[in-house]
Amino acid sequence: MAIITIVLLWLILISVWIGTYQLIKQQGRILLRLDTLERSPQVVDSEAPGAASQAGSDEFLGTDFPPFKFPDLSGKTVALEDFRGQRVFLVNWNFECGFCDLIAPELARLETSLERQNVQLMLLSYGDPGANRKQASEHGLKCPILLPKDNERPKPFEHQGTPVAYLLDETGRVAGPLASGADQVVELAAQLSTPGTGSSEAASGKRKKLQSERPLAESRIERNGLKAGTPAPLFRLPDLQGKPISLEEYRGRQVLLVFSDPQCGPCDELAPELARLHQMHAANGLALLLVGRGNPEENRRKAAQFGIQFAVVLQEKWKLSKEYGIFATPVAFLIDERGVIAQEVAVGKDAILALADEGLKAMEG
């Protein structure tokens, strides 16, 4: 009996030790993931829950914005104090952010009007000078674009995504709450460019609407994906070998259209599952089509790594993502035989695989 008791005690101790080890291991993975997210530039959504309340209780409102000196795209050091006497519309920016890319032409269009109102547009961007120069030129942006290192980013932008912005007054003080997301950034820029609109009026959103302006509700940027029942936007894009592929070629089949990125970790987790789906169901009517972005060679390497044998096409920047109304990856749309979006957009690996199952069930029914 004593031996049995000892054995049972040892088994209990081993079980407790294994459970504790797994818990510590899981916590470690969570902490690593949180650390990665904290250090990575994120896209923000101006209509996310809590955005308005955050802006309303902005801790930096009315305080001096931290002074800074950062290199511009030519390598010249530019300081915030160089613009003393001007209002500064300071935007936390990233050209690789779909929403930034989307509103860049609008900000470029407003630059001259902002200057007339003694407002200097300034972007604190991510990435290398060459890539930023190229994209600024494509969009017609001529404002100062500065490149702080991540650990040098001013405190008000430390844990913020892109695009977000502050209006600074002529003395360098924060004149209004954070403009969070593409809609709010563009709206504030438009307000600041309007003659007779002061700092406090622009920051609070109080100004007269121009006759040519649409109501804000009508100009909101679609960010949640096209709805079920919407005709899928057509496209003709090059595959990994440069051959043009069009969505119309898939008419008469159900298509799982997946948006991916070679720099996206969850996309890497999804990729082998997509390869498996293609092997199992390519012959029974479900077609897979993946839309990548970025460097073609990197996309080819990823396709080979995960054994993807279905078509992969490359979009320019986020242009096709914009037409489908969502800038995240991985996301997917199920398109029916008529070319109509059959289900709401699926976001993330599990939701995409569930959407594929829905498509297979629909074909069986």
Q: Within 10 A of 298 (CB to CB), how many other CB atoms are there? A: 13
Rounded Cα distance between 47 and 180, Å, is 9
What CATH code is carried by the domain that includes residue 99? 3.40.30.10
From 187, 219, 251, give the residue that closes a domain: 219
CA-nearest of 268, 278, 255 to 359 is 255
Q: Do 277 and 130 reside in the same domain of the chain?
A: no
Q: Do 208 and 64 reside in the same domain of the chain?
A: yes
pLDDT digits (tens, 9 = 90+) for 204-259: 544 444 333 444 334 455 678 999 999 999 999 999 999 999 999 999 999 999 99
Residues 92 and 175 sit within 8 Å (Cβ to Cβ) = no
Which has more pLDDT, 169 or 56?
A: 169
Check pLDDT > 50 for residue 98. Answer: yes
Q: State residue 364's pLDDT score.
A: 73
CA-nearest of 335, 346, 249 to 286 is 335
Q: How far is CA 15 from the centre of its chain?
A: 43
Is 38 among the domain residues? no
Q: State residue 365's pLDDT score.
A: 62
Percent of the chain at pLDDT > 90 equals 64
Q: Do 175 and 261 reside in the same domain of the chain?
A: no
User: H helices within the chain, ranges in order?
Assistant: 2-39, 51-56, 98-116, 129-139, 182-192, 199-204, 216-219, 265-281, 296-305, 319-324, 349-364
CA distances from 237 to 9, 19, 182, 257, 292 (A): 65, 50, 27, 13, 10
Q: Do 254 and 122 reside in the same domain of the chain?
A: no
Residues 273 and 310 sit within 8 Å (Cβ to Cβ) = no
Q: Do 78 and 199 reside in the same domain of the chain?
A: yes
Q: What is the dihedral of CA 298, 301, 307, 308, to 10 degrees?
A: 30
Which has more pLDDT, 1 or 209?
A: 1
Domain count for the chain: 2
Tokens 């804000």 sit on residue: 216
pLDDT digits (tens, 9 = 90+) for 54-66: 444 589 999 999 9
Q: Calculate the average pLDDT of the chain.
A: 83
Is 225 among the domain residues? no
End-to-end CA distance of the chain: 62
Is 180 among the domain residues? yes
Check pLDDT > 80 for residue 129. Answer: yes
Judged by average pLDDT, the poorest of 187-191, 261-265, 272-276 is 261-265
Check pLDDT > 80 for residue 199. Answer: no
Q: Do 212 and 132 reside in the same domain of the chain?
A: yes
Q: State residue 363's pLDDT score.
A: 77
Q: Do 253 and 212 reside in the same domain of the chain?
A: no
Q: Do 184 and 124 reside in the same domain of the chain?
A: yes
Check pLDDT > 70 for residue 275. Answer: yes
Q: Do 320 and 181 reside in the same domain of the chain?
A: no
Model confidence at 53, pLDDT cuts 50, 70, 90, reads: very low
Per the structure block, which two tokens stand in for 144?
């100062």
Three-state SS annotation for 206-229: CCCCCCCCCCHHHHCCCCCCCCCC
Q: Answer positive or negative: Cα dihedral of 239, 130, 133, 87.
A: positive
> Residue 174 gets which letter from DSSP?
B
Rounded Cα distance between 163 and 190, Å, is 15
Q: State residue 213's pLDDT score.
A: 40
Q: State residue 216's pLDDT score.
A: 38
Tell me whether residue 175 is exposed, middle or buried, using C-beta atoms within 10 angstroms of its C-beta: 0 to 12, 13 to 18, 19 or more: buried
Is 7 among the domain residues? no
Q: State residue 328's pLDDT score.
A: 86
Q: State residue 57's pLDDT score.
A: 57
Mean pLDDT in residue range 143-160: 93
Mean pLDDT in residue range 36-41: 39
Write the CB contacts of 168 (distance below 8 Å, at least 6 apart in sequence): 65, 80, 87, 88, 89, 90, 174, 175
Residues 95 and 131 sit within 8 Å (Cβ to Cβ) = yes
> Residue 313 gets which letter from DSSP?
E
Is 14 among the domain residues? no
Rounded Cα distance between 336 and 226, Å, is 14
pTM: 0.63
Is 45 among the domain residues? no
Q: Do 210 and 152 reside in the same domain of the chain?
A: yes
Is 40 among the domain residues? no
CA-nearest of 206, 147, 180, 175 to 86 is 175
Q: State residue 210's pLDDT score.
A: 38
Is 247 among the domain residues? yes
Q: State residue 362's pLDDT score.
A: 80
Q: Do 113 and 190 reside in the same domain of the chain?
A: yes
Check pLDDT > 70 for residue 312. Answer: yes
Q: Do 92 and 213 reside in the same domain of the chain?
A: yes
Provide the domain limits for residue 75.
Answer: 51-219
Model confidence at 284, pLDDT cuts 50, 70, 90, reads: confident
CA-nearest of 157, 169, 79 to 119 is 169
